[in-house]
Amino acid sequence: MKKTIFAISLVALLAAAPTMAQVDLSNYVALGDNMTAGFASASMMDWYQDRSYPAVLARQAGVDDFEQPYISEPGIGPIFELVSLAPVPVIQPVGLLPGLPTNAEYPDIYNNLGIPTATLYDMIFQTGDITNLLQGNFDTVFFDIVLRNGINTALEQAIGMQPSFMTVWIGSNDVLPAVLAGTPIDGVTMTPVEFFGGLYGNAVGALATNTTADIVLINVPYVTDVPFVTSVDPFVDIPGLGRWYLMADTGPLTDDDFVTLGGGALIALGYGLPGGPPLPDNMNLFTGDPGVVLRAAEVDLINVQVDGYNAAIDQTASAFGYPVFDVNALFADLASGAYVPMYGGTTLSTQFLLGGIFSYDGIHPQHIGYALMADELIQFINAEYGSEIPRVDMAEVLFEGDWQSPVVSPAKAKETIMSAEAFQQLYELFPPKLDQAPRIRRPSADRPEFSGRDLRRKPESQP
């Protein structure tokens, strides 16, 4: 009886306080991809997962049971480290053996459903089975680690959680293969905009219909705002010869063209230089070898694709009344210098290695970048919902240092910005999808069940 009265008065109390606009993160689910998983330096690893933007957001909101699919050091794939900085930076994966899942026994759905490598399509349709990974198959490793049961997709699991609050940041991997392959081809290295728009509406529609969560949608940044694309000049200054524009197999580069970090290893071998073989501009469709040059027109193509995705995200958001956190603008402003984060007289930038925002893969942030993003997201949520989630203590983040003091001895075997091995690892993680067919589900034997979760609800098809 006492309990009932207490419950009733609690309800009355809650009902009487509608002006206290707040947002409830007690059951927060983050849907997304690498960025949501806290992927950094080409790896999913516990130290960075613990500092992913959803984890930081949850912590700031006072949530202490935000569960994630942790992977032990050195992560999957083995995390990149800076081996030496000068004369030319050398970045290598740490060791060859990957880390292992350490939270696979967690009996419920993870709060962080960010799956590295996932496209929007994958988020809706792809399942993962931990037994597949345990049998030594790494082909769908991230799906297996995050989704585990072999039955339900990320979207279904999110619905099964009946979250109070959600963030959805998906779409970066729908264009990332175009960047890593140096080759934008609609339908091959990039998801067609119409396809993306339709899927996005369906996915968000399913969340709207089947959950009561407050949902923040996060749009897609321009790939040209990341150091993987902007760090290598399209020319070299050769003493006695002057400025030499690198030669690609499609002709010399211009000031408007970009060489990706994947090209660093080739330039070190003489590619693109006088007398050397030309740099591969585009992906070889027969061998699958990547190109390392993004021409100005290709960059435009990719960014127009991103604009198309973001228009679809905006459209979906306004149809369902969800706010959009404009991370595209945030990264564009960071890249252009229109926004220079200043902490106690020191600044951060998107500059590779020295800027403090991006990790050694040049594509994903590291803990400082994720903390910055979380801080911006917190300010957005507070403005949007009238909440008072405390901002991130950036001093703690800036002075923390990364996951290890580098013990890797400077083995200057290859003088290159990103070693060929490192680039290969990255490229293989985000391969061009030559078709969009859903992957075959594993047999259902030994699948873990999430007790008390109804995961059979299917996404509604229409917004």
Partner 1 sequence: MIAKNRGRALLVAAMVLVAPALGWGSGFALFEVGGRQAGMAGTMVAVGDDLSTLFWNPAGAAFQTDEGFQVLFGATLLWPEQSIYGSSPYPGEVYQADQVKQTFFPPHIFVGIPVNDRLEVSFAFYAPFGLGTEWEDDFFGNYVSKKSDLMVFDLGVSMAYQLSENFAFGIGVDYMVATIELTKNIGLINPYDQRLTDVAEATLKGEGINSDWAWNAGILWKMGGGFSFGASYRSEFTINGSGKASFTQIPTGYADFDGLLGTFFPFDGKVPIEATIAFPDFWNVGLSWQNEKWTVSGQYGVMGWSVYESLPIIFPENPEFSSVRVENWEDAPQYRVGVEFRATQHWDLRIGYLVDETPQPAWGMSPLLADGDREAYMGGLSYHTDRFRFDIAYEHVDLETRSTEGQSPDGFDGTYEGQSPLLHMSITLKF
What tokens does 261 get? 């970090």
DSSP assigned state of 173: G
Nearer to partner 1, 269 or 353 (CB): 353
Smallest separation, CB 62 to partner 1 (Å): 14
Taking the complex as a whole, the smallest distance from the CB of residue 246 to partner 1 amounts, in Å, to: 10
8 A C-beta contact, residue 115 and residue 71: no
Q: Minimum distance from CB of 375 to partner 1 (Å)?
A: 5
Nearest distance, CB of residue 39 and partner 1, angstroms: 15
Pairwise CA distance, residues 260 & 316, whole Å: 33
CB of 111 to partner 1, least distance (A): 23
Cα 345 to Cα 190: distance, rounded to the nearest angstrom: 40
Output the CA angle 118-65-384, nearest 5 degrees: 70
> CB-hemisphere CA count at 13 Å for 32?
26
**CB nearer to partner 1: pick between 311 and 408:** 408
Q: In the complex with partner 1, which residue's Cβ is closer, 122 or 375?
A: 375
Buried-state track 314-337, b at ≥16 Cβ within 10 A, e below 16: eebbeebebbbbbbbebbbbbbee
In whole angstroms, how close is the CB of 23 to partner 1 at the nearest point?
Answer: 18
For the record, the structure tokens of 131 come out as 């037994």
Structure tokens at 78: 């083995």
Write phi, then psi, for 277 (nearest 5 degrees): -70, 155
CB of 397 to partner 1, least distance (A): 9
Q: Across the chain, which distance is largest between two alpha carbons, in Å? A: 92
Q: How far apart are CA 75 and CA 80, in angstroms?
A: 10
Q: How far is the CB of 87 from partner 1 (least distance, A)?
A: 8
Nearest to 397 by CA among 443, 338, 357, 350: 357
- H or E element that contains 216: strand 214-218
Residue 84 or 315 with smaller CB distance to partner 1:
84
* Least distance from partner 1 to the Cβ atom of residue 75, Å: 15
Return the bridge partners of 259, or none: 232, 293
> 160 or 280, CB closer to partner 1?
280
Residue among 318 and 346 whose Cβ is closer to partner 1: 346
For partner 1, the closer of residues 168 and 392 by Cβ is: 392
Closer to partner 1 by Cβ: residue 83 or 109: 83
Cβ(403)–Cβ(48) below 8 Å: yes
- In this structure, the dihedral spanned by the alpha carbons of residues 135, 138, 142 and 147, taken in order and rounded to 10 degrees, is -30
What is the closest distance, in whole angstroms, from the C-beta atom of residue 269 to partner 1 in the complex?
Answer: 13
Residue nearer to partner 1 on the CB measure, 87 or 240:
87
For binding to partner 1 (CB under 8 A), which residues are involved? 82, 84-89, 230-233, 236, 264, 267, 337, 340-349, 351-356, 366-368, 375, 390-396, 398-402, 405-406, 410, 417
| C-beta closer to partner 1: residue 134 or 383 | 383
Output 100 or 408, the one with its CB closest to partner 1: 408
- Please state the closest distance from residue 342 (CB atom) to partner 1, in A: 4
Do 35 and 366 meet the contact criterion of CB atoms below 8 Å apart?
no
Q: For residue 316, report the phi and psi dihedrals to the nearest 5 degrees.
A: -60, -45
Q: Which residues contact 125 (CB under 8 A, 6 or more apart)?
A: 153, 438
Q: Are 250 and 258 in contact (CB under 8 A)?
A: no
Strand pairing of 214-218 and 165-169?
parallel
Residues in the chain: 463
Least distance between partner 1 and beta carbon 211 (Å): 31
Helix (H, G, I), strand (E, B) or coil at 93: strand
Contacts of 60 (CB under 8 A, 6+ apart): 374, 378, 389, 390, 391, 392
Residue nearer to partner 1 on the CB measure, 107 or 337: 337
